Structure 1
Amino acid sequence: MEVAENTALVVVDVQRGFDDASFWGPRNNPAAEANIAALMDAWQETGRPVVLVRHTSVRPGSVLAEDHPGHAFKEFVGDRREAAALLVTKTVNSSFHGTPDLARWLDAQGIGAIVVVGIQTNMCVETTARVGGNLGYEVLVPLDATHTFDLEGPDGLSLTADALTTATAVNLHGGGFARVTTTARLLAAVGGRIPA
């Protein structure tokens, strides 16, 4: 696998509010944060651009509302925030529908490829990857650098977080929106350290 020197790492919604199990329910992939941190470190060490995306919910009572402590980045992201090339704020699922305009920034930097990591796998990560693919970017998604939560649908239907992650992998890779990969493969490609 080759990763261009200007491939942007897009870190989506790694915010404290997602630690509230009473709000979200059961989650999967407890290694997600360590993998995201390892990718952020590798991108910074190799001079590749990092984009941070933060969700500002407009729903009353949301743990991601701007006036809620959960709106803040998780500590490991906050500690690495200084090195980020761009901070995007959004109120919807796609990082390409926020402020400032992510596509305009990527194009201005001559960036044609992105790696999308973060929370939630089947929501903002998948939507960002789909829109990025539609806009013509090469999109890579290391699923083990994402996580999500069990989810209920209509008429008593529900899926576990792991089942949703599998569906995202099939949707993105099988649908041609993105190439699904792993943190270890990306770190090997850029010369980063694989987390223990």
Structure 2
Amino acid sequence: MSSDLFDRIAAIGVIPVIAIENAAQAVSLADALLEGGLPLAEITFRTTAAAEVMATLRDKRPELLVGAGTILDSASLDAAKASGALFGLAPGYDAEIVAEAGRIGLPFAPGIMTPSELGAALKQGARLCKFFPAGTAGGPAALAGISTPFAHLGCRFIPTGGVTEANLPDWLAVKDVLAVGGTWIATTSDIANGRWAEIAAKTRAAVARVREARGG
């Protein structure tokens, strides 16, 4: 990941992890996030609309930093790049996908849950990894324990899965956590039902929580 983009994500501290089923709602979703003070989103390939959503946001809301999530194959990786995603993430580690992301120039965070997976990702040059599923894998203490022996190699982490507004500060307190990923900010149900004011309110609360966790 480029250092500039890396720094911008770190400054924001929380990434909404979004599964949106209708590309016609992409701009309204972006506006709700921006209204809440969060110019960042991970659009996951859990729906068939993902690539169209990212392309729409690239063209109509370029101020939003858009990443592609749930990249499980080369087709999704290529679609993410073509649709204007600035970075990609995956729930697991796949050496071929990591290599292909490097080849096409898409900053990429593979998912890890064990020291062995982290070691393999680092060996391929990854310096940002998703820790997933963060809650099931043991929470902040588990990530701290897994990452400590590798700390001198400069890897940073995005814990996702089980992160909530309530426990967000515990995750951000872990050394080398770049930002957290959360599904509660813009749920599929809220998006489908057009609850933009509610999404904006959750966004503001998440931004305030990050600020509070980092001491204001």
Higher relative contact order at CA 8 Å, sep ≥6: structure 1 or structure 2? 1
* Higher-helix-fraction structure: 2
Greater strand content: 1
**What's the TM-score, normalizing by structure 2?**
0.34
Give the TM-score, by structure 1 length.
0.36
